[in-house]
């Protein structure tokens, strides 16, 4: 699990880090008070969740949210300080997922993070466990960690949602329509380019030969299924 905090108040960063480490002790927390450095970290580090200060210098928060959403669908929490209800509504409409008011309540923050992960995961709230395994692949739905044998695999949030859906339904053929609805939303049904592109990326990261895949199998004209491999 990796968190990116774009915040120029170091005390807030320390408080956030302490809070996150208590709930996610194996997590990595990276931070910066510089917007441009933060954008670079977002692109290179592919964090599982981003928290941004709403009052960073030299940039309006709506502009920052827009920049992030131009190339990333990462779960995004705005650390709010003095915003009105209208400001929050505009931020959510622009692409933020949650607002947390500073000084934050640790229990409220962790509850919102947990709910946000469940929401963005897209696999449903009725899952009976947090860890699913299929052969050499293990997916932790709480920490968002993916292991291939004993090696951790870094995935984008969208790649993680797609792989989770396949692992949870191991051995079953999932149609293009179902994957598009679960991972991207009903408005994307019919656009097979999304599934093809992301399946290709997953195969690469899992070491599954795209030309002769053994883990994620293509069912022509139907969809995909994940097969347990030794």
Shared domain for 153 and 202, answered yes or no, is yes
Q: What's the domain range around 58?
A: 2-121
Note the pLDDT of residue 194.
83
Shared domain for 209 and 157, answered yes or no, is yes
Comparing 114 with 77, which gets the higher pLDDT?
Answer: 77
Shared domain for 110 and 173, answered yes or no, is no
Comparing 71 with 102, which gets the higher pLDDT?
Answer: 102
- Nearest one of 205, 131, 213 to 164, comparing CA atoms: 131
CATH code: domain of residue 34: 3.40.50.2300
User: Does some domain include residue 126?
Assistant: no
Note the pLDDT of residue 129.
57
- Which phi and psi (to 5°) does residue 9 adopt? -100, 110
CATH code: domain of residue 171: 1.10.10.10
Last residue of a domain, one of 80, 103, 121: 121
Last residue of a domain, one of 70, 94, 121: 121
User: Does some domain include residue 192?
Assistant: yes
- Cis check: omega of the bond before 103, within 30 degrees of 0: yes
Shared domain for 7 and 63, answered yes or no, is yes
Span 105-134, pLDDT tens digits: 999 999 999 888 776 654 433 344 578 777
| Percent residues over pLDDT 70 in the chain | 95
Span 207-221, pLDDT tens digits: 898 888 999 999 888
Upper half-sphere CA count for residue 229 (Cβ side, 13 Å) = 15
Last residue of a domain, one of 66, 99, 121: 121
Residues 6+ apart with CB under 8 A from 56: 6, 7, 8, 33, 35, 64
Number of domain units in the chain: 2
- Structural element, H or E, at residue 133: strand 131-134
CA separation for the pair 168, 223 (Å, rounded): 16
Shared domain for 56 and 90, answered yes or no, is yes
- Structural element, H or E, at residue 5: strand 2-6
Give the chain's mean pLDDT: 86
**Residue written as token pair 């919102």:** 112
Shared domain for 99 and 160, answered yes or no, is no
pTM: 0.57
Span 1-46, pLDDT tens digits: 789 999 999 999 999 999 998 888 878 899 999 999 999 999 888 7
Task: Please spell the DSSP secondary structure of 15-57, one letter per residue.
Answer: HHHHHHHHH-TT-EEEEES-HHHHHHHHHHH--SEEEEETT-T
């Amino acid at each position: 699990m990796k968190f990116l905090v774009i915040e120029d108040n170091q005390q807030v960063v320390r408080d956030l880090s302490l809070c996150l480490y208590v709930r996610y002790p194996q997590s990595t927390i990276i931070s910066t008070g510089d917007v441009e450095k933060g954008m670079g970290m977002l692109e290179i580090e592919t964090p599982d969740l981003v928290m941004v200060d709403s009052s960073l210098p030299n940039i309006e928060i709506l502009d920052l949210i827009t920049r992030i959403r131009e190339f990333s669908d990462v779960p995004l929490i705005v650390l709010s300080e003095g915003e009105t209800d209208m400001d929050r509504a505009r931020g959510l409409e622009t692409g933020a997922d949650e607002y947390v008011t500073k000084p934050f309540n640790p229990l409220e923050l962790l509850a919102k993070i947990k709910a946000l992960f469940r929401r963005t995961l897209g696999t449903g709230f009725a899952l009976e466990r947090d860890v699913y395994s299929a052969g050499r692949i293990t997916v932790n739905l709480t920490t968002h960690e993916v292991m291939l044998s004993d090696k951790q695999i870094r995935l984008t949030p969208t790649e993680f949602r797609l792989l989770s859906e396949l692992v949870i339904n191991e051995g079953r053929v999932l149609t293009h329509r179902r994957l598009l609805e679960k991972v991207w939303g009903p408005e994307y049904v019919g656009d097979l380019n999304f599934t093809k592109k992301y399946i290709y990326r997953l195969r690469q990261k899992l070491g599954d030969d795209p030309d002769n895949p053994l883990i994620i199998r293509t069912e022509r004209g139907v969809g995909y299924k994940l097969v347990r491999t030794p």
